[in-house]
Amino acid sequence: DGGITQSPKYLFRKEGQNVTLSCEQNLNHDAMYWYRQDPGQGLRLIYYSQIVNDFQKGDIAEGYSVSREKKESFPLTVTSAQKNPTAFYLCASSARTGVFSYEQYFGPGTRLTVT
Amino acid sequence: QKEVEQDPGPLSVPEGAIVSLNCTYSNSAFQYFMWYRQYSRKGPELLMYTYSSGNKEDGRFTAQVDKSSKYISLFIRDSQPSDSATYLCAILLMDTGRRALTFGSGTRLQVQP
């Protein structure tokens, strides 16, 4: 089955620790995205990547870092500099070009709790 | 002012009712309009998309766009308890540098059996 996997589903960390969230897709999509969802605020874009070895900051990139070494993978690191890291994190992917390039497919999400 | 405004609800309706979900947006350059459905603690799934003013129908769902008013709607006919979820409108700005969605805050819908 083609799709996007995110692991783990739930993640707990102590304040001050960096944590990396995994996102893998087998849809052969070029573009990948990370969003953060907080109650009542919809989804906000953290980082996105249109192609391997290239990525851009979204609206709320401070305190986060990403890498895109492989087409299938787009891990997100939540650093200790992120002031309010507790949230639901969603990874998405889409084809970069073509008529279906606007369709973004989402993974199941990772709920991160930092105490 | 947020780029996309959406009433958070919750909206509670009886089974079989017609549901109307709405969003307004501020940027005239937005080109694609989408509706996602998100069940609790799950990732959003794409329901419908459209890029022009007018209506688009898919089964019990109808998406409506009025670009002159910057207003988009999703209508659900014969609503079912399984439609209970949060509905997110999302708008895509198709400039070359950023092809990422701008989301509304979501409307929580509860369909009572």
Per residue in A3-21, pLDDT tens? Answer: 999 999 999 999 999 999 9
- What pLDDT does residue A33 have? 93
Of A35, A102, A107, the CB nearest to B92: A102
CA distance A42 to chain B (A): 4
Terminal C-alpha separation, chain A: 36
DSSP code for A70: B
The alpha carbon of A72 is separated from its chain's Cα centroid by a whole number of angstroms, namely 13
CA distance A11 to chain B (A): 14
- pLDDT at residue A98 tops 70: no
The DSSP result for A24-35, as a single string, is EE-S--SEEEEE
What is the number of CB-based contacts under 8 A between chain A and chain B?
61
Per residue in B17-52, pLDDT tens? Answer: 999 999 999 887 777 899 999 998 899 999 998 888
